[in-house]
Amino acid sequence: MEKIVMVDLPGQYRKIKREIDSAMNKVIETGAFINGPEVKSFRENLRSYLNTAHAITCANGTDALQIALMALDLKKGDEIITTPFTFIATVEAIALLGLKPVFADACPRCFNIDAKAVEKVVTPKTKVILPVHLYGQCANMDAIMEIANRHHLYVVEDAAQSLGSEYTFDNGLVKKAGNIGHIGCTSFFPSKNLGCFGDGGALVTNNPDLAEKMQAITHHGSRVKYYHDMVGVNSRLDTLQAAILDVKLRYLDRFNQARIEAADYYDEALSGIDGLILPKRMSQSTHIFHTYTIKTAARNRDRLKDYLAGRGIPTMIYYPLPMHLQKGYSGYGYREGDFPVAEELCSTVLSLPMHTELKTDQLGHICTAVHDFFKNNAK
Ligand SMILES: *Cc1c(COP(=O)(O)O)cnc(C)c1O
């Protein structure tokens, strides 16, 4: 059996090496490292894949979130409703712009923001709802869009972990993650479902004015070279990364399918274990398993992690501390106990190895080890 890893980037590369190498060589030979034709091509292919009117590339997913919020003409102190159970980037973008993160607790089974909790924290200062489609599955966008429409709020989606996942509305309409709200943000960090060989990010929208403005913001707030209509940033996707992503985008559905098949294996092999909760697949969203995240009682979580490590199986905790309890964000005045679901998730979730190259013998070894833990070691 090959060594088990959390994410197997070299293994995936070997499968598409010829295409990737040739795309990279082409960029190197032309020397168009910044804003080369591959950037435009990838932007167009991403736009078309997500079925949006506009796509803008940028340097990473954190920038994408910041650029989205910069484009919305918000004032200092305006409130952005988001989840406390996410990666810090979501909240960092809000804080950096002097906006106020207002948290709505997560849902204990789907891990995404709880729409009922969102409704309760809307105030006259609320301007944006920022749902995160965590672990590969969309948040409850029927309810979130309804609340946003009723209160005239923007919806900015953090689709960094869910590129390719699809949401089916109650009325049957199907949309891809990122193409549901006013702006969708994503990341091409190497381990994401669509990852490059460094950093990368993108924004998508169906609003031409927002698209034009976000494009200008990524380019120092400039529409005409050396004239700056607003304060922007310098946030570009390298041509090399765009060339790699353009190849990998063609494989994204197949890659996501490989993750789903690994998840199917886990679901079946791990079902019926007392004390183990498997990830729930919501009926409204496909799940593309950026992570395969299980839950156990808090007293067993770290013991399970250590036990698996002892059998050569890496695992990760996404995330060990909720956003409202992060030291750097204590200024917002949140306390322990404010978001009990997010806090509980932080002490009970555990992500098993998940990537496109998992082999059946590896999956079997992982599942046997989990069974053994619950038979002999769980408390
Ligand atoms: C990865 C990630 C980001 C940020 O992406 P970077 O490209 O690393 O800046 C933002 N939000 C979530 C939920 C993520 O998982």
Measured in Å, residue 162 CA sits from the centre of ligand 1 at 11
* 16-44 pLDDT tens trace: 999 999 999 999 999 999 999 999 999 99
In angstroms, rounded to a whole number, what is the distance separating the alpha carbons of residues 312 and 201?
33
Q: What is the largest CA-CA distance in the chain?
A: 68
- Measure the CA–CA gap between 88 and 67, rounded to whole angstroms: 16
Ligand 1 centroid from CA 110, angstroms = 19
What pLDDT shows up at residue 378? 82
Do 252-376 and 9-249 have the same topology in CATH? no
Nearest-atom index, ligand 1, CA of 199: 7
Query: Tens place of pLDDT for every residue, the chain, 379 residues?
Result: 999 999 999 999 999 999 999 999 999 999 999 999 999 999 999 999 999 999 999 999 999 999 999 999 999 999 999 999 999 999 999 999 999 999 999 999 999 999 999 999 999 999 999 999 999 999 999 999 999 999 999 999 999 999 999 999 999 999 999 999 999 999 999 999 999 999 999 999 999 999 999 999 999 999 999 999 999 999 999 999 999 999 999 999 999 999 999 999 999 999 999 999 999 999 999 999 999 999 999 999 999 999 999 999 999 999 999 999 999 999 999 999 999 999 999 999 999 999 999 999 999 999 999 999 999 988 8
From the CA of 187, give the closest atom in ligand 1. Answer: 7
Domain residues of the chain, as ranges? Answer: 9-249, 252-376
* Predicted local distance difference test score (pLDDT) of residue 379: 86
Q: Whose CA is nearest to atom 14 of ligand 1?
A: 160
Other beta carbons within 10 angstroms of residue 254's beta carbon come to: 10
Q: Which fold has domain 252-376?
A: Aspartate Aminotransferase, domain 1 (3.90.1150)
Integer CA distances (angstroms), 64 to 96, 103, 141, 157, 217, in order: 13, 20, 20, 10, 10
d(CA 115, CA 102): 13
Ligand 1 site-directed mutation target among 57, 86, 87, 354, most atoms within 8 Å of CB: 87
CATH of segment(s) 9-249:
3.40.640.10
**Bridge partner list, 293:** 351
Residues in contact with ligand 1 by the CB-under-6-Å rule are 60-62, 86-87, 89-90, 132, 158, 160-161, 187, 189, 199, 201
Nearest CA to ligand 1 atom 10: 89
CA of 4 to the centre of ligand 1 (A): 24
* Sheet (strand 54-58) strand order: 54-58, 201-205, 183-187, 154-158, 126-130, 79-82, 100-103
Q: Which atom of ligand 1 is nearest to the CA of 86?
A: 13
Ligand 1: residue of 187, 196, 290, 351 to mutate (most ligand atoms within 8 A of CB) is 187
- Which of 231, 242, 156 shows the shortest CA–CA distance to 198? 242
Atom of ligand 1 lying closest to residue 290 CA: 15
Backbone angles phi, psi at 78, to 5 degrees: -60, 150
What is the C-alpha separation between 154 and 183, in angstroms, rounded?
Answer: 8
d(CA 1, CA 369) in angstroms, rounded, equals: 15
280-283: long-range pairs with CB below 8 Å, 24+ = 280/109, 280/110, 281/137, 282/110, 282/137, 282/138, 282/140, 283/168
Rounding to the nearest 10 degrees, give the CA dihedral for residues 248, 253, 255, 257.
Answer: 180
